Structures are given as structure tokens and as C-alpha cells.
Amino acid sequence: MKSNILITSMGGYGSLSVSKDISLKLKKKINFFGTHNDYYLLKRAENNCKKIILVPGVKNKKLYIKKHLNLLKKFKIDYIVPNSDREVFIFSQNKKKIFSKMFLPDLMDIKICQNKKLFLNFLKKYNFNYPRFVHIKSKSQIEKFLKDKKTKQFYIRITSETSEGAYGAAVLENKKQLNLWLKIWKDFKNEKMTSFTLSEYLPGKVYENLLIFQGGELIISKVYENLKYHLTSNAITPAGSTPATARSCGEYISKSISQQTSKIIRKLSEVNRTEPNGVYHSSIRLDKSNRPNITEINIGRFPSTNTIFNFYGKENITEIYFKILMGIGTKLKNFIDHDHGKSVIISRSLDQKPFVFREK
């Protein structure tokens, strides 16, 4: 008998890859159902799902969860895979009302990771590597930051709740550029100065780390390096967040990055008296001393770049997630997967399958 699995934000790159990047053997055990508030994105998943359902936007929390509770009952959904920050939050918040199974971190951990300000403060409080930063509250704070920063360039981004990716981000060099950037966002988007955070711009390599925990134990971790980003050639500053080209990583880098992310995840759970559980996606920048700085952890959901992690190594991390979710299980434990000496480059466009080739 097949399991009924509902994936939210279906039709987006992340949700499409989650439903496609598994073996035919596992697919035969699943009926996928998809929801989205965007009709055109949802239609992209029509051939991949038994049923696609247009739903209200998650901004209307009461209507959104009411609609989904009805769908879970109507289609006898066995498992739910929320796949955006807001959806992870609202399903975790309403888990007592939901009888379908989910594989999510604790709500207390979700709250800290999804609030970029709280997360940076957490890194500072518990002495993890982090770039010098300030959440803008006044012009005097800006003056002090510009005086005290140790890097020539600095980074600005919007860190208000529910902001995702590099929203409102720029790499700047002086006060004149900063004032102009704040004015642009005020004039065009009505964003207040207090929505932004300033931080030192770390000059080193950039990595992405995808991990799965179950019951407090690390199951698997994978790492890749970002080489280029989409649209940065046309952007005002090189502050991209959508990778165009990536490189697989070997054992040493994979272990080093995985250990740093795992330490933060475990500390988060220790402080909140919770248990690491589900999927975690961290972004890492190296500072001038080549120390890894975890700049954010996207918690409870797969990234839109999920497919990149499955182009190298011995294991398909998406398939492992579904096996745990469905109770099939896995024998893996504390497994740091990497390219095992077979380095590859992944060239990714937004409307075609990624192109993969061996690096010489």
C-alpha cells in the first residue's frame, strides 16, 4: 500500500527536487500531493503528484492551517513535508492538531534559527565564530560599527522576521554607499533602517552544508562550495544567494564544516532542552584566517539547491530523509559524505537540469 505524502510550496525548485530526487523503488511506495498558493508554480508539479491543490497564502495563518487540516483528512495524508520557512513554523506550531507524521525540529529551535537577529545574538553569546555585526537601531550605532569594523568591505541585509535569502543585501565599502542603499530601500520598498543588520564582510570561500538529525543523533551531512552566483554580473554589488556554479568537497573540508554546524545545532538544543531532529541547511563563510563562520541555518526544510547535494558522494540525502520520515529507517549514523576523490563541478541554470562534469 502506498503512503500519501503532502509537500507544501510544491512547484518551487526545492519542493520539486525533494519529490524527484529519489529512487524509482521508493517512488513506487509514495503518492505525492502538493499545495501552493501560486497557481502557475503549482501546475509545474502536476505530472509529479497524484493531486495538486491551490491553497491560501501562509500569511493568512488561520485560513492556511484550516485548509490544510481539511486536506489532510480528506486525502488521508500519512506524512507532511513543509518546505518554506513560514510553513515549517506554522506546521510545527500546530503539531498537536495534526495527526499526519512530520519530521521537524522543535519549535523553540525553529524560532531562533528563523529570526536572523536572534541567531546572530546566539552565536555571539555562546562564543561561536561570527562576523562583527550590529542590528541597526540608530545612526550612532552605524557610526560606531564603521569605526570598529576590521574589514574594508561590509555586508548589509534585511534581518526582520520572515526575510529569506539575501533579501535587501549588498556588499558596501563606505558610509556614502550605505546611506544611499538605505534610502533606496526606504523610497522603493518602505523598509525602515531598523530592518537591517550590518556585519563585516568575510572574504573567504563560501560553503553550504545539509544535515539530517534523528532523535539527537547526526545521520548524514554533505557539503559543497559555492563558486558563482546568478545575476551578480548585473547586480549593483556581488551579494548573490542563488548559486550558478558549485564544487563538491573532499573529506577534510566536509568534516570540518560539518563539525562546526553540528556544534551549533547541538548547543541550540542544549540551551532549549530540545533534541535535534529533521533537516538543517547552513551557509558558511571563511574569514581571513580561514576559520568557518556559520552565518545562518535554514531549519526544517530543504533548500532550492537540494539537487546539488545529490550529484556526488555515496548517498542520496533526500532519500534518507524520506526513509526516516516513513519509518523505513537507515543504518547510517554520523556519516560525513563527500566526493571520495572524484571532484565534480555542478553548473546550474534556473530552467534546465544542472550540468555536471569531472574536475581535472
Instruction: Identify the DSSP state of 96.
Output: G
pLDDT (0 to 100) of residue 243: 81
> Among candidates 73, 68, 70, which has minimal Cα distance to 90?
68
From 3.20.20.100, 3.40.228.10, 3.40.50.300, 3.30.470.20, which CATH number describes the 206-358 domain?
A: 3.30.470.20
pLDDT digits (tens, 9 = 90+) for 206-224: 999 999 999 999 999 999 9
C-alpha cell at 315: 548517498
Backbone angles phi, psi at 137, to 5 degrees: -125, -25
Decide: 338 and 313 in contact? Cβ < 8 Å.
Answer: yes
- In sequence order, the 6+-apart residues with CB closer than 8 A to the CB of 176 are none
CATH topology for the 132-200 domain? Dna Ligase; domain 1 (3.30.1490)
- Between CA 204 and CA 287 the distance in angstroms is 5
- Between CA 130 and CA 123 the distance in angstroms is 7
Question: Which three-class secondary structure state does DSSP give residue 355?
Answer: strand
pLDDT digits (tens, 9 = 90+) for 327-355: 998 999 999 999 999 999 999 877 667 77
> Among candidates 138, 132, 106, 102, which has minimal Cα distance to 120?
132
pLDDT digits (tens, 9 = 90+) for 267-298: 999 999 999 999 999 999 998 889 999 989 99
In this predicted structure, the answer to whether residue 95 has a pLDDT above a threshold of 70 is: yes
- Between CA 296 and CA 282 the distance in angstroms is 6
Superfamily designation of domain 3-102: NAD(P)-binding Rossmann-like Domain (3.40.50.720)
pLDDT (average), residues 102-117: 94
Q: How confident is the model at residue 169 (pLDDT cuts 50, 70, 90)?
A: confident
Tally the C-alpha atoms within 13 A of residue 119's C-alpha that lie toward its C-beta: 25
Backbone angles phi, psi at 80, to 5 degrees: -120, 135
C-alpha cell at 145: 560599527
Within the chain, all domains assigned CATH 3.30.1490 are found at 132-200
Within the chain, all domains assigned CATH 3.40.50.720 are found at 3-102
> Among candidates 125, 113, 131, which has minimal Cα distance to 284?
131
- Between CA 112 and CA 133 the distance in angstroms is 17
Helices and strands (H, E) in the chain, number of each type = 12, 16
Within the chain, all domains assigned CATH 3.30.470.20 are found at 206-358
In this predicted structure, the answer to whether residue 94 has a pLDDT above a threshold of 60 is: yes
In this predicted structure, the answer to whether residue 160 has a pLDDT above a threshold of 90 is: no
Q: Is 3 exposed, middle or buried (0-12, 13-18, 19+ CB in 10 A)?
A: middle
Higher pLDDT, 330 or 264: 264
pLDDT (0 to 100) of residue 241: 66
Query: The cell 569594523 sits on which residue?
Result: 149
H or E element in which residue 244 lies:
strand 243-248
pLDDT digits (tens, 9 = 90+) for 62-87: 999 999 999 999 999 999 999 999 99
- Between CA 39 and CA 283 the distance in angstroms is 31
pLDDT (0 to 100) of residue 157: 87
Instruction: Identify the DSSP state of 194.
Output: G
Q: Degrees (nearest 5) of the Cα angle 318, 320, 321?
A: 65
H or E element in which residue 243 lies:
strand 243-248
pLDDT above 70 covers a percentage of the chain that reads: 94
- Between CA 21 and CA 313 the distance in angstroms is 14
pLDDT (average), residues 134-139: 90
pLDDT (average), residues 214-239: 82
pLDDT (0 to 100) of residue 232: 57
Higher pLDDT, 10 or 358: 10
